[in-house]
Chain A
Amino acid sequence: MMQHLIVLPVVLPLLVGLFLLRSRHGTMRTHRVVGVTATALLVVVAMVMVARAADGEVTYYALGGWQPPFGIVLVLDRLSALMVLLTAVLALGAVVFACAGDDERGSNFHGLFQLQLMGINGAFLTGDIFNLFVFFEVLLLASYALLIHGGGKSRIQSAVHYVVLNLVGSSLFLISVGVLYGATGTLNMADMAVRLSDLPADREGLVTAGALMLLVVFSLKSALLPLYFWLPRAYAAAPAPVAALFAIMTKVGIYAILRVYSLVFGEQAGSLAALEQPWVWWLSLATMVVAGIGVLAARDLRLLVAYLIVVSVGTLLAGIGMGSPAATAALLYYLVHTTLVTGGLFLLAEMIGLQRGKAATRLVKGRPMHHGNWLAGLFFIGAVAVAGLPPLSGAIGKALLLNAAETSQQPWLWPILLATGLAALIALSRAGSTLFWRSHEGEVAGVSLSRSRWLGVGWLLGASPLLVILAGPVSDYTCATAEQLADPDIMVRAVLSNAGESP
């Protein structure tokens, strides 16, 4: 059983997803029980994986027994284990929240949700660049269907943009994979790293073109500056649990940038080493500025949270742009924090919207809310965490990032990061005071909120204080992860030594 551990996060959601799609006429209750149980199991599997990866050993799973570099491999190291655990924790909160009724508005919610998890986990685990493409497609196809779950004008309209953009992105992904294969003759990332170290000089241009095209694709997925315009509308229109799960989707792009450029274009690549860094660094700073303005301008709570995701993308990519292990460690800590908290805020925005009737999540005067105090309390916790105020985890993440900046980077990073934090603080306090204090006189109305909604939101927002209490172990783990990433030799030796487990 243990030797098949690495493939479980892909196979488990696949089988559960197929079962749920197959038995789509079954009762909603069965679907909910199966969906939540499978996601909870995924959390357990991911915890075992983190425990196994924590000692620093890189293990791989050769599918069908075909050894790398010829076969397809799934690779488990500290980074992929962390990302899988993060996905599972976020998904559990989202799926529990969905059980309160969001899953009944369309068909096949739970089956599609599991298939989306399969795509995300696969993208985090794969060690092969073409399989990265395949898993991207799996997660995108499921996300297209989830985005229009429940239907409605605004969803369909934003889905058209989202689907068309991502299809063009997929074409570009295939072209760049083709260029890289043509130039290096391999698709396995570890093998590609080895082959780049003695690349003929006349192929350098080709590899540079392929690598930068790949950066465009990953920037589209992670919503870097010129390519982020699809995000706010799509995320604001998506059903709440789906939007919460989408919080990890931009991080898939960030993970791909981190993985591909630290492994394939590491130091051994000679003149091609770290060729993405100037692009990522300047564009991420610009993303932060533009997204900060977007946060201030948003007139709807869900749009506001969507722009906060773009801010977090800018912050995380600035960490990659700095290019030091300390910055990578800081960005991984911040990534865990921001994914869970923005996911929780999407769920909370839905709860607030449900209570306000016609005004929904628009930032206008509305009627007073049922459970107003509890919602306000949760909103306060979420706002403090996401704006990066002490004592919650956002402050620690930002402090780590600020601390990791080198002297030449400080004059750019410090003012921009702190100013976007201030913009988020202003926007969130304005939103909070409008939502909770400036209400009409009158009867308290609105539906009563079921327990699973509170549970889902509490689970995700509760991660922030927990990340503060466990800040020591978590940052130790991310530091170790950053060291492992900084030395691609570890991965290359583990994958290409032919000593791994085959089933």
Chain B
Amino acid sequence: MESLYAITTGILTACGLFLTLRGRTFPVVVGLTLLSYAVNLFLFSMGGLTTGGAAIIDGQTHFADPLPQALVLTAIVIGFAMTAFVVILAMRARSEMGNDHVDGRKQEEPHR
């Protein structure tokens, strides 16, 4: 399971980074969202992967670390708020500058 989990997180991060480096605001926003998903998955695994264990230490040997779950919750809330903000900002930038390029540049005429 560990390798599957690691590969998933890695692919999400790679896609997120690739999209973040695009020139239009929409792919950038999607990239940031993917990146925050990858980070949340990563945080979730930082206490070690446990299946079928309760998220509390009650004297038994088999338990899942509860702290990363609390951290992921915080990170999800913050990431969600940030995504909402960035969407609004991107729309505002689109209306103020007349195009959706991150640098506010007009698209160059394509060569024919």
Residues in A lying within 8 Å of B, measured CB to CB: 130, 134, 137, 141, 144, 148, 151-153, 156-157, 159-161, 163-164, 167-168, 170-171, 174-175, 177-179, 181-182, 187
Closest to A180 in B: B46
Cβ A167 vs Cβ B86 within 8 A: yes
Contact B39 A144 (CB under 8 A): no
Residue contact A148 to B89, C-beta cutoff 8 Å: yes
B53 part of interface (Cβ distance < 8 Å): no
- B71 at interface, CB cutoff 8 A: yes
Q: How far is the CA of A130 from the CA of B92 in the complex (A)?
A: 32
- Contact A181–B85 (Cβ < 8 Å): no
Q: Which of A156, A167, A179 contacts B82 (CB 8 A)?
A: A167
Answer whether residue B75 sits at the interface, using C-beta atoms and an 8 A cutoff: yes
Report Cα–Cα, A168/B104, bound state, in Å: 20
Contact of A168 (CB < 8 Å), options: B20, B74, B78, B97: B20
A-B complex: 4 closest residue pairs judged by Cβ atoms: A178-B46, A182-B46, A157-B104, A174-B39
Contact A171 B39 (CB under 8 A): yes
If A151-B96, A156-B89 touch, whether A164 touches B102 (CB-CB below 8 Å) is: yes
Q: Given A157-B104, A160-B90, A164-B32, are A170 and B42 also a contact pair (CB < 8 Å)?
A: no
Q: Which residues of chain A have C-beta atoms less than 8 A from B32's C-beta?
A: 164, 167-168, 171
Evaluate contact between B97 and A157: CB separation under 8 angstroms: yes
**Residues in chain B near residue A164, CB distance under 8 A:** 20, 28, 32, 86, 102
Instruction: Write out the residue numbers on chain A whose beta carbons fall within 8 Å of the beta carbon of B89.
Output: 144, 148, 156, 159-160, 163
B15 in the interface, Cβ–Cβ < 8 Å?
no
Complex: how many Å from CA A53 to CA B46? 36
Smallest Cβ-Cβ distance to A161: which chain B residue: B102
**B97 with A137: CB separation less than 8 A:** no
Question: A164-B28, A175-B39 given as contacts; is B85 within 8 A of A156 (CB)?
Answer: no
> Hey, what's the 0/1 contact readout for B13-42 against A, CB within 8 Å counting as 1?
000000010000100100010011011001
Q: How many residues of B contact A (CB 8 A)?
A: 32
Residue pair B47, A157 in contact (C-beta under 8 Å): no
CB distance from A206 to the nearest CB of B (A): 11
Q: Given the complex of chains A and B, what is the CA–CA distance between A152 and B95 in angstroms?
A: 11
Query: What is the CA–CA distance of A175 and B104 in the complex, to the nearest angstrom?
Result: 31
Docked Cα-Cα span, A153 to B92, in Å, equals: 10
Taken together as a complex, chains A and B put the C-alpha atoms of A144 and B20 apart, in Å, by 19
Neighbouring A residues of B68 by C-beta, 8 Å: 178, 181
Nearest-CB residue, chain B, relative to A174: B39
Tell me the residues in window 26-78 of chain B with beta carbons closer than 8 Å to chain A beta carbons.
Answer: 28, 32, 35-36, 38-39, 42-43, 46-48, 67-68, 71, 74-75, 78
Q: Which residue of chain B has its CB nearest to the CB of A145?
A: B85
Q: Which of the listed residues A161, A177, A178 has the most CB atoms from chain B within 10 Å of its own CB?
A: A178
Distance in angstroms from B76 CB to nearest chain A CB is 11
| Cβ distance A18 to chain B, nearest Cβ, rounded Å | 16
Rounded to whole angstroms, the CA-CA distance of A5 and B22 in the bound complex is 47
A-B contact pairs, 6 of them (CB 8 A): A134-B74, A148-B92, A157-B97, A163-B85, A182-B46, A182-B48
Q: Which residues of B contact A153 (CB under 8 A)?
A: 96-97, 104
Say yes or no: A160 contacts B102, CB within 8 Å: yes
Q: Are B102 and A182 in contact (CB under 8 A)?
A: no
Chain B residues, CB < 8 A from A163: 85-86, 89
Specify the chain B residue showing the minimal Cβ separation from A134. Answer: B74
Q: In the complex, what residue of chain A is closest to B9 when comparing beta carbons? A: A175
On chain B, the residues within 8 Å of A170 by CB distance are 78, 82
Question: Cα distance A34–B93 when bound, in Å?
Answer: 32
Q: Do B93 and A179 touch (CB < 8 A)? A: no
- In the complex the two chains form, what is the Cα distance from A177 to B43 in whole Å? 8
Is the CB–CB distance between A134 and B78 below 8 Å?
A: yes
CB distance from B16 to the nearest CB of A (A): 8
Kindly list chain B residues whose C-beta atoms are within 8 Å of the C-beta of A174.
39, 42-43, 75
Residue of A nearest to B71 (CB): A130
Please indicate the chain A residues that have their CB under 8 angstroms from the CB of B96 in the complex. Answer: 151-153, 156-157
Measured between beta carbons, the chain B residues less than 8 angstroms from A182 are: 46-48
Cross-interface CB contact of B35 among A161, A168, A178, cutoff 8 Å: A168
Q: How far is the CB of A127 from chain B (nearest CB, A)?
A: 16
Q: Given A160-B93, A177-B71, A181-B47, 4 more contacts at CB 8 Å?
A: A153-B97, A157-B96, A174-B43, A181-B46
Within 8 Å CB of B104, what residues of A?
153, 157, 160
Please tell me if B81 contacts chain A, counting CB pairs below 8 Å: yes
Residues of B within 8 A of A171 (CB): 32, 35-36, 38-39
Looking at A152, A163, A164, A174, the one whose CB has the most chain B CB atoms below 10 A away is: A174
Residues from chain A with Cβ under 8 Å of B47 in the complex? 181-182
Bound state CA distance, A160 and B87, in angstroms?
Answer: 10
Q: B93 and A156: CB pair below 8 A?
A: yes
